A and B are shown apart, each in its own frame.
Chain A
Amino acid sequence: MDTLTTIDINFSAALRHEVVADPTSDHALLEATRTGDEDAFAELVGRYRNPITNYIYRMTSDYDGAVDLAQETFVRVYRAADRYQTTYAFSTYIYRIATNLAISELRKRKRRKLVSLSGFFQSRDGGEPEEFNPPDLKPLPDTELVDAERRNAVQRAIITLPEKYRAPLILRDVEGKSYEDISRILGTSEGTIKSRISRARGFLREKMTAYL
C-alpha cells in the first residue's frame, strides 16, 4: 500500500524503494557495485553480456567488433556506476550505451571505409560486409539449409538499412523490446519509433521478397 502511494507521488523514489525491496534487481546490483561489490557487477555482466553482444552484432555484423563494444559498454557502466540514476530501467540504460557505441562504430567505419577481418567477406551486392559463416562440412537437411540461407539473407538486408531504421527494428523484432522501451533507449518519441520500424519492415519486405 505504501509502495502504491509512493509510485503515485514519485516514480524515481519508487524505483529506489524497489532497489531496497528486491536485492536481486538490476538496480540493487548496480547499487552494490557502487559500494565495491565485484560479485554484484559480475552478476550484472552475466545477465546482459549475451543480449548486448547479440544486439551490437546485429547492428554491426562484426562479431569481434561486437564483443569489443560489449566490453566497452560494461566498462562504461562500471565507470559511471556512481552517477547512475535509477529513473529508468537498467536495461534501457545499458542498451542506450550499447546503441551509442554501435552507431559511433558504424560512423567510424563509414569514414574510414574499414572492414574488420571477420567481416571481410563482402555481400553480393558489394554493400556492407556479411557475417562470416565457415562452411559446415556435415550434410544439412533441406529445411535447415533454407533456414540458414534465409537468416543470412535477413542479416544482409538488415545491414543495408540506414542506422535510424536499423536500431529500432532490431530492438523491436530481434530483441523483442516494447515501443516504450525503444523510445527511451533511442531518445525518440514512440510515434517516430513506430514509423521507423514500419518503414524498416517495408525495406526488408522488398529486399526479401524471394524468402517471404
Chain B
Amino acid sequence: MRNMNCQSIRREIEEAGSAGFLSAAALSHLKACAACQTLFRQQTSLQAILSGLGTVEAPGDFDFRLRARLAGEKRMGARSLPFGNLSFGLRSTAIAAILLLIGSTVLFVALKSRPNISVAGGGNQVPPQSVTPESNRGNPNPINGVIKSGADAVARGSTEQDYLPAGRAPKVPGIRREIAGVRSGNRFGSRDMSQKGAPVDRLAGTYPTAAFPIDASYQSLKVSVDDSRGASRTISLPSVSFGSQRTLSQTASPLLASARDTW
C-alpha cells in the first residue's frame, strides 16, 4: 500500500513541473516518506537548474546571414532545374523519370546503330538486292551475294540445298545460326543462315576422320648474329612442336593417326 502510494506520488512529482505544486495528499505523504522527500527535493533542484540554463542568443548578424543565404538560394534556384520548387519526393520522381528517359533513349540509339540481327521469322529485313536461291546456285560464297531470311526461304518451299554449292554437306548439327552483316551505304543488311549448314573444307577421299594436314616443315630455326666486328655466330634453335605436328611427321600415313591424337 505504501509502495503504491509512493509510485503515485512520484508520478505526481514528475509531472509537477518546475513550480512543484503538489496536492495536499502528496504533501502529507512527503512529510512521512523520506525517500519521496529526497526525490522531490532533487527533482525541484534539477528543474531549477535546467530552467535557469538561460537562452543562448543568435548572433547579431543572424538576419543578415539568413537573407544572404536565401538570396543565394534564389539565385541558384533560378539557374537550377525548373522543378526546383517541388517537394523532395516529386523532385526525386521527376529526376528519376528524366534519367529513365535518357537511359532508354541511349539504349534505343545503341540498338538502332548495331547491325541488325534477323532471326527466323524476321522476314521484314530483306534488303532490295536480295536474290533468289536459284540465282545463287553457282555462287560458292553466298555471304557476299545473298541476303535472305530463312523464314522467307521456308515460305517459298526452298530447302538448304538451294543455298549450298554442289557437293557440300547439307547440314552440320550444332551450328544454329550464322549472321553476316553486309554493309550497304549506311545500313546493315543481315542474313539468316540458321537453316543452312556451315561449309566443311575437306580434301576429297584423303581424310575421312576429323584430321587435317598441317603444312609446316619440320625444320629447326637458325639465327645468325653479327657483332659488326667480323665475328658472327649462328645459333640453331630446335623446332617447336605442339605434339600433333610431331605425331603427323612421324606417322607413316595420316590415316593411321587416330582422331584423338591429331588436331
Chain A residues proximal to chain B, CB less than 8 Å: 42, 45-46, 49-51, 53-54, 57-58, 63, 66-67, 70-71, 74-75, 78-79, 82-83, 147, 150-151, 154-155, 169, 173-174, 176, 194, 197-198, 201, 204-205, 208-209, 211-212
Contact = CB atoms under 8 A, between A and B. Distances in A.
B49 interface: yes
Q: Interface residue tally of chain B, by bracket? A: 20 to 34
Contacts, number: 85
Contact of A201 (B46, B51, B59, B69): B46
A151 B56 contact: no
Instruction: Report, nearest first, the 3 A-B pairs whose CB atoms are least far apart.
Output: A173-B50, A49-B58, A53-B58
Contact of B51 (A53, A83, A173, A197): A173
Main secondary structure of the interface of A (DSSP, over half): helix
Interface of B: 14-15, 18, 41-43, 45-47, 49-59, 62-63, 65-66, 69-70, 73, 85, 87
B62 A71 contact: yes
Contacts of A57: 56
B46 A53 contact: no
Given A154-B50, A173-B51, A205 B62 contact: no
Contact of B66 (A75, A194, A205, A211): A75
Interface centre among B53, B57, B87 (most CB of A within 10 A): B53
A146 to B, nearest CB: 11
B46 A204 contact: yes
A53 B57 contact: yes
A78 B53 contact: no
Contacts of A74: 66
Given A45-B62, A176-B18, 8 more contacts: A58-B56, A67-B62, A70-B62, A71-B66, A71-B69, A154-B46, A197-B14, A212-B41
B55 A51 contact: yes
A42 B63 CA distance: 8
Contact of B63 (A45, A154, A201, A209): A45
Given A66-B56, A155-B53, A204-B46, A75 B69 contact: yes
B70 A67 contact: no
Contact of B49 (A66, A82, A154): A154
21 contacts: A49-B63, A50-B57, A53-B58, A53-B62, A66-B56, A71-B62, A75-B66, A75-B69, A78-B70, A151-B53, A154-B49, A154-B50, A155-B53, A174-B51, A194-B15, A205-B43, A211-B49, A212-B41, A212-B42, A212-B45, A212-B46
A70 B43 contact: no
Nearest to B54: A151
Contacts of B66: 45, 71, 74-75
B46 A58 contact: no
Contacts of B46: 154, 173, 201, 204-205, 208, 212
Nearest to A74: B66
Given A45-B66, A74-B66, A173-B50, A67 B55 contact: no
A54 B55 contact: yes
B55 A201 contact: no
A90 B165 CA distance: 89
A188 B127 CA distance: 71
A173 B63 CA distance: 28
A70 B58 contact: yes
